Structure 1
Amino acid sequence: GHDAELCEAALGVDLNGLALAAALGEEISTDELSTESRAGGACTVFLTADAGMLDGVDDLDQAEQSEGVIRVRAYRRPGFAIGELRHGADRLGAVQAIGSSRAEALRCGEAAAALIRFRTSAGAPVQT
């Protein structure tokens, strides 16, 4: 997920913008297709939590300020019933990071993800 955002972060190519321009029949210049190395690696670390009722999410701001982090997203709001992780739509959020290499980007992303806390409580049984 978030491939277009990673491409823009690492290479400077706005894939989402290009797709919209193409869909609208707009002319795309070769400059918009040119890459420039902005980072040696980029990654997305997806966020999950144990099953239960989501009461809140803590430390997103701290994660956003972490080394290499370009974006932090929480997909769910309090009151969301967290079930078993079976497919991508069951994820709770994502951290995107860049680094001098793929390994460095992953280290930064995982370190930031470890700061984020999903507060949960036992709730009504979750349908899976």
Structure 2
Amino acid sequence: MLLTLLVLFSTVSFTIEKHYCGDVLVDVSVFVEAEKCEMEALEILQKKTCCKDEINVIQGQDELKFSSFDDLEFEQQLFLASFIYSYVNFFEGLSQQIVPHKNYSPPNLVRDIQVLNDTFLI
């Protein structure tokens, strides 16, 4: 699960937009456009620029490398094949064993010998 989240977050791209009015940070926004200040409307009329926008684009990974079994070296292929073979054979079922006393029924008890001799396992 952790590796899936790692791949997901490494491939996601997003932008961080900041709006400054002078040297004061007015708004920071992720994924959407930052909110502008009221001074920017006056700047358009007066043709002065004290507001500025700063955009940081964080690029995700574009190319993912997919490896196949043939891309591995011979030693790595040998190790992987022997590991899988030993792992699969590790969970082999037990052979059917013969139980000689399967159909034997114990004799009926006439007296309880432990109670008669007062010997109990504690």
Give TM class, smaller chain: under 0.3
TM-score scaled by structure 2?
0.25
Q: 1 or 2, which has the higher strand percentage?
A: 1
TM-score scaled by structure 1?
0.24
Q: Which has the higher contact order (CA 8 A, sep 6+)?
A: 1
